[in-house]
């Protein structure tokens, strides 16, 4: 096949990203990082290499086919018109080019493809994707070249059926081409009519039933945009397609489905560049489990756009983890910073404290996403995933993370720390805390457990009673009390000094241990634990309540 593709993009940080000819390249990052600019500047540079950009410094253009093969390829989906010239003009979907010019551009492809960009490149704007549902003028199917995406469906029954299947998955209804509507070709949505005996798709009786359905171009932006993106991605002859925010106008389920369809069913001879703000759309791409997906994250540092890349091998490794697949962790790719916590309660509390402070100032909160990972033992997995895409992050754990070498060592090392530098101090703190093991009389434990048994008459022993017994046994551990007291539980002198040295090292790379012990210790005037505690504390005036002053200082520190 005659085609054009990009094999390399150089960004303003001098990073050169290599791209395969059939890659699906997804640009992610926080607002104003340069995602949309990457698409626009790359497309302009494809047209003419002298169109230098601020985010994209250079591109490498490749081609396949001779100039004779080029003309043969173009003639397959266009009409000839000599207009009194020795060589013909070729007219087709979005292009009208003279053969001599096409051959000349093809021979100097390294300087940019000029007017060949109308044949090989499509930059799909919001307006284009919505207008793709607008009925075009009818063409003569056997001889006329397509001039609109709907013409491809009009000419090909199999494509129409395929697109109807896509549309039904997204919106639960059929998509049907009206092939005998006079001088235009509209699309209808609804339950596809069944031709009666002796009828076909152009019979009057069938068409009357079809025209009772709703017209696609009179529907909402979501339906029209969905169809516009798919039509341009699957049907046209372009070998490079740029789409900014393909998820625009779509609800999360449709955005995820669109991502999966684009990745899984895109024609293999096409190169696709996408800029997205949608975690759902990105998850759809990942759901497809394809080998040609590449994620580029952009983050602006003053005038430099810094990029980091995940290739398909990295993506598959990350996406195979059930935690990442079913959480909001990927949302971190679209923010300037991520704070990783142990639980959802931690996230809700810290996020609310942060927002309250900026609300009080009448200012916008920093672009920070709080995410949880279901316990401290899953933190290293999240760090590994986000670090590959250079996402700035802080980690917050309860005080009892000091109890075991894992995961504290892995967290520290994954953040870039050298465990040997803190191991001696950590051992000292741990051993001194454990020397304070509280005395626990046997008779007291027996009485407490007996009380648990006496409080239930259920035939099956309730789970909450099992938890009560576990809590009773935990009282024999100094770490239970240490988690409720925090830093104050550490003996004074050398152990406290060792802890201070650990904290300096940890905070230096974004690892924060709650010195108060655990979340609920920020305000001990409120009872309960976890979500119940958070629900109650959020009823307070978070920006002025004196009990929450230490929480406000801590959130400012981690941000």
Find all residues with CB under 8 Å of 520, minimum gap 6, and list them. 526, 528, 529, 533
For position 363, what pLDDT does the model report?
Answer: 83
Helix (H) or strand (E) holding 444, with range, is helix 442-454
**Most distant CA pair in the chain, distance:** 109
Q: How far, in Å, CA of 264 to CA of 136, rounded?
A: 29
Q: Confirm if 119 and 237 have CB atoms less than 8 A apart.
A: yes
Closest CA to 271 of 22, 63, 45, 39: 22
**Phi and psi at residue 165, in whole multiples of 5°?**
-65, -45
Gap between the Cα atoms of 375 and 32, Å rounded: 33
CA distance 118 to 102: 11
- H and E: helices and strands count for the chain: 23, 19
Give the whole-angstrom CA distance, residue 478 versus residue 400: 10
Instruction: Tell me the C-alpha distance between 128 and 133, whole Å.
Output: 9
Q: Is 431 exposed, middle or buried (0-12, 13-18, 19+ CB in 10 A)?
A: exposed
Assess contact for 516 and 550: CB atoms under 8 A. yes
CA 455, CA 463: separation in Å to the nearest integer? 13
d(CA 507, CA 394): 9
pLDDT score recorded for residue 475: 61
**Number of neighbours of residue 195 by Cβ within 10 angstroms:** 13
Give all strands of the β-sheet with 511-513 in edge-to-edge order.
368-372, 337-341, 393-397, 511-513
pLDDT tens over the chain, length 559 residues:
799 999 999 999 999 999 999 999 999 999 999 999 999 999 999 999 999 899 999 999 999 999 999 999 999 989 999 988 899 999 998 899 999 999 999 999 989 999 999 999 999 988 889 999 999 999 998 889 889 999 999 999 998 999 999 999 999 999 999 999 999 999 999 999 999 999 988 899 999 999 999 999 999 999 999 999 999 888 878 999 999 999 999 999 999 999 999 998 887 789 999 999 999 999 999 988 888 999 999 999 989 999 999 888 878 777 887 777 777 888 999 999 999 999 999 999 999 999 999 987 888 889 999 999 888 998 998 898 888 888 999 999 999 999 999 999 999 999 999 999 999 999 999 999 998 866 556 776 788 888 888 888 888 888 888 888 877 766 667 888 899 999 999 999 999 999 999 999 999 999 999 999 999 999 999 988 899 999 999 999 999 999 999 999 999 999 9
Find the angle CA(109)-CA(114)-CA(117) to the nearest 5 degrees: 95
Q: List beta partners, residue 368.
A: 337
Q: What is the pLDDT of residue 84?
A: 84
Beta-strand (E) ranges in 22-166? 24-28, 56-64, 79-81, 89-92, 95-98, 121-124
In angstroms, the Cα distances linking 381 to 27, 96, 103, 297, 415 are 23, 53, 53, 19, 11
């Amino acid at each position: 096949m005659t085609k054009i593709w990009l094999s390399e993009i150089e960004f303003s940080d001098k990073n050169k990203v290599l791209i395969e000819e059939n890659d699906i390249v997804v640009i992610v990052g926080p607002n104003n990082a340069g995602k949309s600019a990457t698409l626009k500047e790359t497309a302009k540079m494809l047209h003419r290499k002298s169109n230098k950009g601020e985010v994209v410094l250079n591109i490498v253009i490749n081609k396949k086919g001779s100039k004779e093969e080029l003309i043969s390829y173009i003639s397959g989906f266009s009409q000839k018109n000599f207009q009194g010239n020795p060589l013909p003009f070729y007219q087709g979907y979005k292009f009208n080019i003279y053969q001599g010019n096409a051959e000349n551009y093809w021979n100097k492809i390294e300087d940019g493809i000029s007017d060949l960009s109308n044949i090989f490149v499509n930059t799909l704007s919001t307006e284009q994707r919505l207008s793709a549902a607008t009925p075009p003028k009818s063409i003569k199917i056997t001889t006329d070249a397509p001039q609109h995406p709907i013409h491809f469906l009009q000419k090909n029954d199999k494509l129409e059926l395929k697109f109807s299947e896509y549309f039904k998955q997204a919106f639960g209804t059929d998509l049907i081409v009206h092939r005998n509507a006079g001088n235009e070709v509209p699309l209808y949505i609804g339950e596809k009519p069944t031709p009666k005996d002796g009828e076909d798709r152009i019979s009057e009786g069938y068409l009357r039933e079809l025209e009772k359905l709703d017209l696609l171009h009179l529907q909402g932006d979501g339906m029209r945009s969905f169809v516009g993106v798919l039509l341009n991605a699957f049907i046209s002859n372009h070998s490079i397609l740029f789409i900014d925010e393909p998820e625009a106008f779509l609800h999360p389920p449709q955005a995820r489905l669109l991502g999966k369809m684009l990745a899984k069913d895109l024609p293999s001879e096409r190169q696709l560049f996408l800029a997205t703000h949608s975690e759902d759309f990105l998850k759809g791409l990942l759901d497809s489990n394809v080998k040609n997906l590449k994620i580029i994250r952009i983050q602006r540092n003053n005038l430099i756009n810094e990029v980091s890349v995940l290739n398909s091998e990295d993506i598959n490794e990350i996406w195979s983890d059930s935690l990442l697949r079913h959480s909001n962790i990927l949302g971190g790719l679209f923010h300037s910073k991520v704070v990783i916590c142990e639980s959802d309660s931690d996230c809700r509390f810290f996020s609310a404290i942060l927002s309250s402070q900026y609300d009080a100032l009448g200012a916008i909160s920093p672009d920070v996403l709080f995410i949880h990972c279901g316990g401290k033992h899953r933190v290293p997995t999240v760090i590994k995933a986000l670090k590959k895409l250079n996402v700035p992050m802080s980690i917050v754990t309860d005080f009892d993370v000091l109890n075991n070498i894992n995961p504290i060592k892995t967290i520290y090392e994954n953040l870039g720390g050298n465990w040997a530098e803190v191991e001696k101090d950590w051992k000292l703190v741990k051993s001194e805390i454990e020397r304070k093991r509280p005395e626990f009389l046997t008779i007291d434990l027996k009485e407490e457990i007996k009380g648990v048994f006496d409080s239930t008459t259920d035939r099956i022993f309730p789970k909450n009673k099992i938890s009560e017994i576990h809590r009773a046994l935990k009282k024999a551990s100094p770490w239970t009390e240490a988690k409720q007291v925090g830093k104050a539980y550490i003996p004074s002198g050398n152990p406290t000094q060792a802890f201070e040295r650990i904290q300096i090292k940890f905070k230096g790379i974004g690892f924060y241990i709650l010195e108060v012990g655990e979340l609920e210790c920020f305000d001990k005037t409120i009872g309960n634990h976890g979500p119940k505690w958070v629900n109650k504390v959020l009823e307070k005036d978070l920006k002025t309540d004196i009990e929450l002053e230490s929480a406000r200082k801590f959130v400012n520190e981690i941000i």
